[in-house]
Structure 1
Amino acid sequence: MPVFTGGHACLSQLSAANLLPAPPFVPRPIHLLPLKHIRRDSRFSSFMKVFLLVPKVSVSCGSGSIADGVDRHLSDEIRSTKRSADWKAANIYFERGVICEGKVEGFNNGGLRIRFYSLVGFLPFRQLSPSHQCKDPNKTIQEIAKGLVGSILSVKAIEVSEELGRLIFSEKEANWAKFSSQIKIGDIFEGRVSSVEDFGAFVDLRFPDGYCHLTGFVHVSEVSWDVVRDVRDVLTKGNE
């Protein structure tokens, strides 16, 4: 499972996994030794000229240098090429429903910033797995987010648009793919009410490992055998 850390090996990893074609060759400037640097090839009786790569020699030009300018230009092109390839990778992951692992680089009032190679995506708080709240129900969402910075989360891309610069992830979707197969009709789970609506209540299901990985829904008609006119008369957030 790929881990998004922003490393330069991402394109080769994707190519090896047959998710992307081999990355295009990006030309770099080379510097050649004078022609006097020659050697005899053991396979031939004649001399052959060999051009050796040597460290860059900058040619001063005002306050900067020609080589520095070329390097900056090529660096911009390389970054642009890499970002474009990473957007293509994100689209492929989105279309195929691939679950990946991304590093949490920070957060704001709405969610987490998730590293995806050279890109930074966004994971809204509402797309976080309920397992985080299960660990410590008394923590605020901001406290939970702060504790997640630097950690690796299993995520799934749910929106990708290079034109709009939108790369949205969901941990809930990734968890559904991983844990839904463990649920069968008739199974009994302990649960924790995560929110109450007019039409029913959302309940986080506790799995054998003690964490709530998935969220289910209890319709108002299934809350009690008695007639329920207002779900809030029976259930409140945090009930187990």
Structure 2
Amino acid sequence: MENLSQLQVAVVTGAGRGIGAAIAHRLGKDGFHVIVADVDRATAGNVAAEIKEAGGSAESVCLDVADKAEVQDWAQEVAERLGRLDVVVNNAMWIRYGPLVEMTEEDIDRMLGVGLKGVIWMIQAAAPLMAARGSGCIVNVSSPAAVRATRDAGIYAAVKGAVSSLTWQMSSELGRQGIRVNAVVPGAVPTEGARALVDEEGYELRRAKTPLGRLGAPDDLASAVSFLASNDASFINGHLLTVDGGLTVS
């Protein structure tokens, strides 16, 4: 078994599939001990096993980021067992699209719980561990919907707008403790989960509007997160890195 005390530790939420899984795999290749966190225990375990099979270091955890107590208990266990947490990638999101006037309170609460409160709870749990070492990196996942109207995405846009604002605010507050806080802003990435919400016609429209003429891939986002988590980005703080092929400005 590898000596985990010699490795930097990264956690990726919502990492059981799609973009989160790609980020977890990339950080494993980058030499981090990766904690693959997902509300689905089976998919998280599969991704962790794949990282280890590829020669990396990983473990999985079934974690509902919307549950503050659950997140705090997990962070305490990590502190006691690993003694550090160097990178947090807040990727987890729960989505329901629809006209605002038709959105149920249950759906709104879950979107806010996972997409916004989950980010807050993870930051609250991770920041003390990072501050104790005088360094750390938090990467949030926002969306172009935060800055441009998107059909039937009112609550999703509100959540991601809050995530962008929180990124800027925390970069100032936590930067003084040596903790960098940035975000990536994905364009259209047709993952398995996303395809359940957007049909082929919708993706063709997004492809047509993207200046680079293609849709994004999970690895595009993984590369961006890898950069923000690296020493090459050591003076980058409070930045929203758009990874969308130019879709936002088209």
TM-score of Structure 1 vs Structure 2, range by shorter chain: under 0.3
Structure with the higher strand share, 1 or 2: 1
Q: Which has the higher contact order (CA 8 A, sep 6+)?
A: 2
User: Computing the radius of gyration over CA atoms, which structure comes out larger, 1 or 2?
Assistant: 1
* TM-score, normalising length: structure 1: 0.25
Structure with the higher helix share, 1 or 2: 2
